Amino acid sequence: MIPKLAIHGLSKTFRQKQHSLLALDAIDLSLAENEFVSLVGTSGCGKSTLLSIVAGLQEFDEGEVLVDGAPIAGPGRDRGVVFQSYTLFPWLSAQKNVEFALSAAGMSARQCREAAREHLALVGLERFADAYPSQLSGGMKQRVAIARALSYRPKLLLMDEPFGALDALTRHHMQELLTGVWESHRLTVLFITHDVEEAVYLSDRVMVMSNQPGRIKAVVPVELARPRPYDITTTADFLAVHRQVLTSIREESIKIAQLGAA
């Protein structure tokens, strides 16, 4: 079967005046249909760059990125993106923000209205349809952003630390909401985070990235049953996976600390 997303030998170098930095080095990965994969790594390891490349928002030097077996050509509606920063348009209500995406996807005004309402309900915000982003909390804004990205049915959902700016309690709530949506909707998701617990809780597989150059260092399958209630995070099975990922990541942060000390 053709994977939903396949990346082969992807490399990216940032060239600066004095020296060049190999940000991504020979990345290989693939996501099966309806798979939830997280990419974890220390800050600056290139995970956001990788997501940005998959989204088509950044160029790359070598390799290929295939969606359903076809190479990508720039950004596209087959890949929905949720950013860490709040990207709702402040001049539009929650409802109109979702409609904006739907109308860009070529839907009629009536279809837009209905689909937008339906997707706001999916993230539990139907009552806030007419609220402007300035009237919504950070978590609510990200829920609308998720609704917007899902609304036009992309093949892939790309999420770049979407809950990174939220407080711990809201973040937990958002993670539960996202697994709920994922379990009921069936989606292929590439999720970027530096929060190990978040990655393990959400994913089918967790990929650990190394730092400078950015490589896929380890792939840890998460064989926990679904649906996953939140208290799964305290079970022995969960903690075993968590420890495995954390150890792998800690090696990287220690490496960085030693580089800094040298």
Partner 1 sequence: MPPRSSGKAGSSPPRAGGTRRRPHRLLGLTGRLELWQFAGISGLVFAGLLALWWLATSSGWVGPLFLPSPLSVWRRLVELAASGQLWQDAEISLYRILAGFLIASVLAIPVGVLIGCYRFWEAAIEPLVDFIRYMPVVAFVPLTILWSGTGDTQKFLIIWIGTFFQQVLLIMDNVKRVPWDFIDIGRTLELPERRILARIVVPSALPGIWDSLRISLGWAWTWLVLAELVAATSGLGYRITVAQRFFQTDTIVGYILVLGCFGLVTDQAMKAIGRRLFHYVEVRR
Residues that bind partner 1 (CB under 8 A): 55-57, 74-77, 79-81, 83, 85, 87, 89-91, 100-101, 104-105, 132-134, 152
- Minimum CB distance to partner 1 smaller for 133 or for 214: 133
The SS3 call for residue 134 is helix
Could you give the CA distance from residue 76 to residue 100 in angstroms, rounded to a whole number? Answer: 15
Alpha-carbon distance of 40 to 246, in angstroms, equals 10
Nearest Cα to Cα of residue 4 among 31, 37, 43 = 31
* Closest-CA residue to 67 (of 22, 8, 139, 115): 8
Q: What is the closest distance, in whole angstroms, from the C-beta atom of residue 212 to partner 1 in the complex?
A: 24
Cβ proximity to partner 1: between 77 and 185 the closer is 77
Based on C-alpha coordinates, what's the Rg of the chain? Answer: 19
Helix (H/G/I), strand (E/B), else coil: 188: strand
54 in helix, strand or coil? Answer: helix
The minimum distance between CB 237 and partner 1, in angstroms, equals 36
- Least Cβ distance, residue 85 to partner 1 (angstroms): 5
Q: How many CA atoms lie within 13 A of 55 on its CB side?
A: 21
Residues in the chain: 262
Nearest approach, Cβ of residue 90 and partner 1 (Å): 5
Q: In what order do the strands lie in the sheet with 5-15?
A: 20-31, 5-15, 62-67, 70-71
Smallest distance from partner 1 to CB 230, Å? 30
